[in-house]
Structure 1
Amino acid sequence: MNTLDLYTSDRLNALRDRQDELADLAAEDLVRYPEWVPEINSWESLPETLPEKFPSSLLHYFTFFYQPPPPVDAVGIRQTQLFFEKNSSLVLLLLGFYSLPFTYAFADGAEVLVRSKRILENPGKRLAETALFVMECYRPDAFLVGTGVLAVIAKVRLIHALSRLFIRKYSPDWNPAWGKPINQEDMLATNLTFSLLVCRGMERSGVRVSPDEREGMLRYWGLIGYYLGIDPSFLPKSSKQAFELERLIRKRHLKASPAGKKLMQSLLSYYRQEMLRPELSPFLEAILAHYLGPEIGGVLGIRTTRPIPDRVFYILLSSGVFGLGKSPASFPLLYKQFLIGTKKSLGSEPRIALPSLSR
């Protein structure tokens, strides 16, 4: 069946009841055997062999990452990594000014995010961790040499599963009408924010993205989505498919909500207090409105027609969300500058790690 034919409301409704059984079973075992959390967190790449005493569900979970991947275009993967390296500062900026707030505009999915005190009380840390995940995914030769990127994705997928488990256990107010937490449709929507939306945001920044670059981004995040547990049959394989999927999800779920506005205000507060250069602060909502557009911005309570002087965009694009300036000349330099900048801003370097668990 053509992927476009799958994008119907009935099929997406079914996805709202589907999560990620492989990871969810592993998360239940992690809660039963929390002593494995430090071991997994210590992995910078997948071990050559899995621990013999691993609980069966964790063994099955990690075995997935040792299986041969779906067919990949090595040349295309490297080209997309170089595209990121060239535009890294702008891509990371768009995470904060477009991709992340975009997810707040979908009322049902926002209910998951608003239940995380860490997101509300420390949005800067959440943003830095997301940026770190993106950079780990774009490491030169990721998916081609070594298993470092697979270890990172495996941890993130388990973090999602633990979040579902905690909501099920500790959120009795969860409304089934919202769908199951972190369901397949919401994961599809989030995947689009790293590919389709980043390309769209680059063009709204005056940077041309060629059709080949756009298709390369979609294929790249399709591979990441596969490893994150998204049903591969629903992942868009072309710009047309991605456009149609985003349009349908927007039609189905774009809605103002107290949760979305609370998340947006938390992020705005963080930008005002911690991140932006003072001369940018008066234009903060106008910048967000520029990227989000009137429909998304209105849902989140971002209502401004204030014009943005060219110098404001120059300052924004030359300073970046993490103080990276223009994209560094190489990935190692980018990574080093990012860690230095986030440590200066947040007091510690971000890391991707499973939360500590107790019996």
Structure 2
Amino acid sequence: MGKLDLYTDKHLNQLRHLEDGLADKAVCSLLLEKELLSGINSWQEIPDSLPDIFPPAVKNYFEFFLKDHPHKEAPFIREAQFFFEKYSSMILSLLGFYSLPYTYAFGDGAEVLVRSRKIVENPGERLAETALFVLECYRPGAFESDKRVLMVLAKVRLIHAMSRHFIKKHAVDWDQSWGRPINQEDLLSTNLTFSLLISRGIQKSNHSISSKEREMLLAYWGLVGYYLGIDTKFWPASNKEAFELEKIIRKRHLKKSIAGKVLLHSLLNFYRKNLFRPELSPFLENILQYYLGEEISRILELNASQKLPEFFLKNLNKFSPFSQSAGNSTFHSIYKEFLTNTQKALGVEVGINLPMPRK
């Protein structure tokens, strides 16, 4: 049965109360010595020799990233990076049309997201940061010769831990029935949006994707998940396992919520006012409904009043939220164009950095 025996309410209920001890301990130490945060933000790579001033919990955290990962020189690493170059524009489009709004339909997890002012007030920056994170994960040489991805993943994992810390400390309205904020089940679900959902989205966009390519993406995001602190014992190794894991999480948590509506409304307003070509605006909810499907669209109360023209369905990969062209063939040209377009659209340079708490 492989991992299918793990995908039960009993096991997933346990995961809702598990967080990430390594990162959480590091954040507790960092928040006592906030001046260390700006230094970490200045790093492009994790130094082989960590500063002596680092507290033990912070040293332990970064030393984890300096160890060899369990898939060293595995062929799926380069295969996934080549795959991204082939489908980059479509993948970046699917993040905005499918992966991100999908998360809003899961009521308990949406409660974490809605408590981030940036997501509600600056959804464009949030979407751009997510896209930048994906780009960094697919950087050629990542997890092998290029170590910059480890710095990005270390920051993202700490950002998760900081969010947990501040929600538990300041969110007096947090309902314990939602589980711990950014718990292990929610991390698994989010990782599926970058792997399983991208595979589904490519197929929905009338492009073929093989079973082998689907499992390659699962393996790649399993490696990403390893560095993000996910208990990889639960990460699916096969298409069947991924299907069953998403199915049970959907059954457990798909529900209407005020948080989900707030998040979707914010995202749609951003799309309408800022980045999309005018001809897309009347069909925006149709596009989301097409990818998300009937069940999730009903939960999010999408109002698709017009039929999606066939032209849009065939060319959605050309309508990236950040006007990414479909003609780029190298990662570096894709990356450069993305940074240029996001800065033009948002008026700020997009980056992945640890938030600096107020003194």
Structure 2: gaps of 5 or more residues = none
1:38 is displaced (CA, Å) by 1.0
AA in 1 matched with 2:337: Q
CA distance in 2: counterparts of 1:185 and 1:316, whole angstroms = 31
AA in 2 matched with 1:8: T
Question: Which residue of the partner structure matches residue 111 of structure 2?
Answer: 111
The residue matched to 1:250 in structure 2 has which SS? Answer: helix
Question: Which residue of the partner structure matches residue 158 of structure 2?
Answer: 158
Q: Would you say the 8 A contact 1:74–1:144 is kept in 2? A: no
CA distance in 2: counterparts of 1:139 and 1:300, whole angstroms = 34
Deviation per CA, 1:42-65: give whole Å up to 9, x if none.
111111211111011101111111
Question: Which residue of the partner structure matches residue 328 of structure 1?
Answer: 328
Question: Which residue of the partner structure matches residue 70 of structure 1?
Answer: 70
Deviation per CA, 1:213-235: give whole Å up to 9, x if none.
11100000000001000001001
TM-score using structure 1 length = 0.98
The residue matched to 1:348 in structure 2 has which SS? Answer: coil
Deviation per CA, 1:150-185: give whole Å up to 9, x if none.
111000000000000010111011000000000000
AA in 1 matched with 2:103: T
Q: Would you say the 8 A contact 1:98–1:291 is kept in 2? A: yes
1:73 is displaced (CA, Å) by 4.9
CA distance in 1: counterparts of 2:72 and 2:242, whole angstroms = 19
AA in 2 matched with 1:191: N
When structure 1 is superposed on structure 2, of 263-272 and 304-313 the one drifting more is 304-313
Deviation per CA, 1:100-151: give whole Å up to 9, x if none.
0000000000000001111000000000000000000000010011311111
Q: Would you say the 8 A contact 2:125–2:350 is kept in 1? A: yes
The residue matched to 1:32 in structure 2 has which SS? Answer: coil
1:327 is displaced (CA, Å) by 4.4
Aligned length: 359
1:71 is displaced (CA, Å) by 2.7
When structure 1 is superposed on structure 2, of 62-71 and 217-226 the one drifting more is 62-71
CA distance in 1: counterparts of 2:36 and 2:229, whole angstroms = 21
Question: Which residue of the partner structure matches residue 346 of structure 1?
Answer: 346
1:357 is displaced (CA, Å) by 2.5
CA gap of 1:134–1:150, structure 2 versus 1, over 3 A, is: same
1:358 is displaced (CA, Å) by 4.2
The residue matched to 2:351 in structure 1 has which SS? Answer: coil
Question: Which residue of the partner structure matches residue 207 of structure 1?
Answer: 207
1:316 is displaced (CA, Å) by 3.6
Structure 1: gaps of 5 or more residues = none
The percent of aligned pairs where both chains have the same amino acid is: 55
AA in 2 matched with 1:262: V
TM-score using structure 2 length = 0.98
1:203 is displaced (CA, Å) by 0.5
Question: Which residue of the partner structure matches residue 233 of structure 1?
Answer: 233
AA in 2 matched with 1:146: D
CA gap of 1:50–1:327, structure 2 versus 1, over 3 A, is: farther
AA in 1 matched with 2:167: I
The residue matched to 1:65 in structure 2 has which SS? Answer: helix
Question: Which residue of the partner structure matches residue 175 of structure 1?
Answer: 175
Please tell me the root mean square deviation across aligned C-alpha atoms, in Å.
1.2
AA in 2 matched with 1:313: L
When structure 1 is superposed on structure 2, of 293-302 and 315-324 the one drifting more is 315-324
Q: Would you say the 8 A contact 1:218–1:238 is kept in 2? A: yes
1:275 is displaced (CA, Å) by 1.2
Q: Would you say the 8 A contact 1:280–1:316 is kept in 2? A: no
The residue matched to 2:31 in structure 1 has which SS? Answer: helix
Question: Which residue of the partner structure matches residue 56 of structure 1?
Answer: 56
Matches within 5 A, 1:14-33: 14-33=14-33
Q: Would you say the 8 A contact 1:106–1:260 is kept in 2? A: yes
CA distance in 1: counterparts of 2:318 and 2:119, whole angstroms = 27
CA gap of 1:273–1:358, structure 2 versus 1, over 3 A, is: closer
CA distance in 2: counterparts of 1:19 and 1:98, whole angstroms = 26
CA gap of 1:324–1:295, structure 2 versus 1, over 3 A, is: same
Question: Which residue of the partner structure matches residue 6 of structure 2?
Answer: 6
Question: Which residue of the partner structure matches residue 143 of structure 2?
Answer: 143
Q: Would you say the 8 A contact 1:327–1:334 is kept in 2? A: no
Question: Which residue of the partner structure matches residue 280 of structure 1?
Answer: 280
AA in 1 matched with 2:248: L
Q: Would you say the 8 A contact 1:86–1:327 is kept in 2? A: no
When structure 1 is superposed on structure 2, of 72-81 and 56-65 the one drifting more is 72-81
